[in-house]
Chain A
Amino acid sequence: MEKYDVVVIGAGPGGYPAGIRASQLGARVAIVEKEELGGTCLNWGCIPTKTWIAAAGLSAELADAQALGIVVKDVRVDFAAMAMHKNDVVDTLRNGVNQLLKANGIVLYNGAGSFKDRNRISVKGKAGSAPVVLGAERTIIATGSKSAVPAFLPRHKRVIDSRAFLELKKLPRSLMVMGGGYIGCELACLAAQLGVEVTIVELLEDILVQLDGDVRREVRSHMEKKLKIRILTGNAIEDVKCGDKGVAAKVGKESIKADLLLVSVGRQPVTVGLELKNAGLSAGDRGFVGVDDHCRTAAAPVYAVGDVIGGMMLAHAATSEGIIAAENACGGKLRRSESIVPAVIFTAPEAATVGVSEADAKRDGLKVSIGKFPYRALGRALAVARTEGFVKLIADAETDQVLGAAVVGVHATDLIAEAAIAVRNEMTVEELGRTIHAHPTFGELWMEAAHAVHGTAVHAAPSRRRK
């Protein structure tokens, strides 16, 4: 039996950084992966969607380029080339992960890992081959999640999840999206920009409910008015029937037809086959593996990170947790997982948030001051003719602490990084506002919003409500 200091189950954005960090700390590390290096994020999630979103966004920009004085005629989508670019990017990154693992001396086992006991992991490779048993001083579970597909939906090639969507060989003419969360909305925007007729069906009263109302309205308005996406809220999808020609469903009193039905109603943790009970563990509420602030499970030598533990089910949260779990597994000073996790949504326009939202503040009865600044008042935004959207800072009214931030508009997903630093380091609005931001850049939005919190914005007329 090969013995390792740390065995990581799953090589996604939680698992492989955990392995690398453990190796950096001198541990002998093995990683067990049953599919591809990079997990959902690299192969069927974050990365491939962004290659297509880049293409779709560019086609939309070209259509609007006249505003800048550029006339582009005959914009055509070559979907096969888009797919090839996507696959190239995925291959490159996957290969990169493989190189990194090798360079760090990490041993990779292809197969499904399961616990034999707290300190032994069995890896079942190809059918017919005998499982390999690894001795594991410490184990980090990083098995991730998969799309949840409600049982009432027919199992049919026209009913697809986000992973199957990314494997499409041909764009559908029309697409019905079940679930108006961030995955559904991103794919809906991307498809609509490429000319697909899209209908989103959301059971709740609005799409993207985790966003504040003002941020949500900005995104929804663009999706409906500019991208012509139909958004039906407050009703369930019922009576889904699949045939040769397409998918039909009932939403409220209306009948909807489309070529494909994309199911994006959330993601569920993957623990099947892990044999958690052999380690004295069990999947808890809704299938998640329970951990404490230090990513420790109830079994002393076992840690867990990423989507499988729930919380913010995002790749970057998983990476941070993976690194912390590896550090805790290798001894040294016990570290807590980070509590400030930015969230980014690649819709058109993009949206991003970090920390406390205005709705959170209201729910928790926090006394906050809000500062907003619109893109249309920013020189750079006007210059590039991308003036929709705004940034918003949520600050503690007593201490001036930047508690949270939201941004909707072009480059929102990059802009949130600055706000994340401010929130995590408990900076004050005053310090943020006094920090010189280069002109003319989108980053100035934060500085202006900071001034707006105190009612001292230079580039916005004084609010009439202020005394």
Chain B
Amino acid sequence: MPEAQSIQMPKFGQTVEESTVVAWRKKEGDQVAKGEVLFEIETDKATLEVESFLEGTLLKILVKEGQTVPVQSVVGFIGKPGDSVPEVKAPVAAPKPAVGSAGPPKQASVPGPTGVGLSAPSAAVSAGVPAPPGRLKISPRAARLAKEKVIDPSGISGSGPGGRIVEKDVISYLASRGYDRLRITLAARNLAAAQHLDVLAIAGSRSGSRITVADVRTAMAERPKAMSKMRKVIAQRLTHSFTTTPHIFVTVSTDMTELMGLRVKLKKKGVPYTVTDFIVKAVIMSLKEFPGVNSSTDGESVRWRANVHMGVATSLEEGLVVPVVRLADDMTIAELHDRIVEVVRKAREGKLLPDEMSGSTFTISNMGMMNVENFSAIINPGESAILAVASTTSAPVVRDGKIVVRSIMKMTLSADHRIVDGAMAAGFVNAIKNRLEDIGLWKSMT
């Protein structure tokens, strides 16, 4: 009897050590063609589709949805019906480093909002959710009483040996919390019990002080829910960057009137440059002039980067990613445009590979389409600055002593103040501004 062929958890990118199967698109017994999507995985950086290299029948699924396994583990088998499937135990997740001991952020990273990344934490969010009584030191009788009364016993101080909660502790706790005066409908009580909610923590509101099903449903809706893996990474990276990097913020107003005019003209000719393209190009040129901004520091040493790998913050429904345009300084504006369109499309489709989301040396976050006056971004770890671009709006400005209406765009640079002084930041943003306002420069380029 021929043996079925194994399907492996792919390794997407250098830094990915384990991945989670989010969903199987095929079930056992389904026909699979080469190139068809077999399953979806979530790394700590992205959700990706895994296509089949093999053709045949999906004979066995080894790693169930929701399971996390090291890369290159066997996740299932494909073959002809009747092929023998080797006896393989489902792989287990590689041990993770304990929270807090993650050390300095890894260079390769998933970008979070405004492009911040760090390795995923493993602690589950649990605030406000009563812990299952099993973990408490509590006598069976006390636990039964707490369960019957639909309360969370974890806040009760135990008077038994070693602080063990005994029945009389629960009784006096109930008395001290005024449990006798609690009014709750029968169905609300049943629902709270089924949902492991503490009835003492649910406020009655709709019908006087009586707790109703609607109140329990509100409590259910308000119960803390675990963040998605991506959101956790975003949270961790943002917190790390903002608490360990001293930020300085410098804002300039740029007159975009002439450049916007040029853009309209180019568009009519079929040249589709976006505002982002011009800004990216102006930033790259200015980074060459201010190499200190294209550097990073760990607090001990400064690392200068010869090339510009430009991060372009892109918002998705589930969060924010920063696809990277590598070697952006070697590109013409036309090449930049094409590459930005490509990476942003891949980001929107969830098809970015982890390596396309890491290694940037500078990041631009453009909220021009979102009608904002001005904003500041948080620096992506591993970089020394990020440029926050706001909307271009018609504004009254003074030119030659007269008030005129011009198209004004504000940009705010957030820079790591340890290596970027105020003067350097100011010089850098003004270099960008001056380039954007120099219409001759763009005419020569386009």
Binding site for B on A (CB under 8 A): 336, 396, 398-402, 425-428, 431
Contacts and interface: CB of A to CB of B under 8 A. Distances in A.
19 contacts: A336-B206, A396-B191, A398-B190, A398-B194, A399-B187, A399-B213, A400-B186, A400-B187, A401-B186, A401-B187, A401-B190, A401-B213, A425-B186, A426-B188, A426-B212, A427-B187, A428-B186, A428-B187, A428-B190
Interface in B169-218: 185-188, 190-191, 194, 206, 212-213
Nearest to B186: A428
Interface string B212-230: 1100000000000000000
A177 B212 CA distance: 43
Given A401-B187, A426-B212, 17 more contacts: A396-B187, A396-B191, A398-B190, A399-B187, A399-B190, A399-B191, A399-B194, A399-B213, A400-B186, A400-B187, A401-B186, A401-B213, A402-B187, A426-B185, A426-B213, A427-B187, A431-B186
Contacts of B185: 425-427
A37 to B, nearest CB: 32
Contacts of A428: 186-187, 190
A336 B212 CA distance: 14
A336 B205 CA distance: 11
A40 B213 CA distance: 36
Nearest to A293: B206
Which of B186, B190, B213 has the most CB atoms of chain A within a 10 A radius of its CB?
B186
B97 to A, nearest CB: 40
Contacts of B206: 336
B186 A398 contact: no
Contacts of A402: 187
Nearest to B188: A426
- Listed from nearest, the 3 A-B pairs whose CB atoms lie closest are A401-B187, A426-B185, A426-B187
A284 B104 CA distance: 61
A402 B190 CA distance: 12
Which of B187, B194, B212 has the most CB atoms of chain A within a 10 A radius of its CB?
B187
Which of B190, B194, B206 has the most CB atoms of chain A within a 10 A radius of its CB?
B190
A321 to B, nearest CB: 16
A428 B187 CA distance: 6
Contacts of B188: 426
Contacts of A401: 186-187, 190-191, 213
Which of A396, A401, A427 has the most CB atoms of chain B within a 10 A radius of its CB?
A401
Contacts of B191: 396, 398-399, 401
Nearest to B212: A426
Interface residues of B, number: 10
A336 B213 CA distance: 16
A431 B206 CA distance: 23
Contacts of A425: 185-186
Contacts of B194: 398-399
A401 B191 CA distance: 9
Nearest to A338: B207
A425 B206 CA distance: 12
A431 B185 CA distance: 11
Contacts of A398: 190-191, 194
B199 to A, nearest CB: 13
A400 B187 CA distance: 7
Which of B191, B206, B212 has the most CB atoms of chain A within a 10 A radius of its CB?
B191
Interface string B340-357: 000000000000000000
A399 B150 CA distance: 13
Contacts of A399: 187, 190-191, 194, 213
Nearest to A336: B206
A422 to B, nearest CB: 10
Contacts of B190: 398-401, 428
Contacts of A336: 206
B401 to A, nearest CB: 49
Contacts of A427: 185-187
A327 to B, nearest CB: 13
A423 to B, nearest CB: 10
Which of A336, A401, A425, A426 has the most CB atoms of chain B within a 10 A radius of its CB?
A426
Nearest to A432: B186
Contacts of A400: 186-187, 190
Contacts of B212: 426
A148 B213 CA distance: 38
A350 B190 CA distance: 34
A425 B210 CA distance: 10
A193 to B, nearest CB: 41
A428 B186 CA distance: 6
Nearest to B213: A426
B4 to A, nearest CB: 38
A402 B187 CA distance: 8
Contacts of B186: 400-401, 425-428, 431
Contacts of A431: 186
A402 B212 CA distance: 13
A147 B194 CA distance: 48
A425 B211 CA distance: 10
Nearest to B192: A399
A400 B190 CA distance: 8
A431 B188 CA distance: 14
Interface string B241-256: 0000000000000000
A398 B186 CA distance: 13
A401 B193 CA distance: 13
A386 to B, nearest CB: 32
Contacts of B213: 399, 401, 426
Interface in B76-121: none
Contacts of A396: 187, 191
A396 B194 CA distance: 12
Nearest to B185: A426
A426 B189 CA distance: 10
A402 B206 CA distance: 19
A74 B245 CA distance: 102
A63 B206 CA distance: 51
Nearest to B191: A399
B182 to A, nearest CB: 15
A206 to B, nearest CB: 32
B217 to A, nearest CB: 11
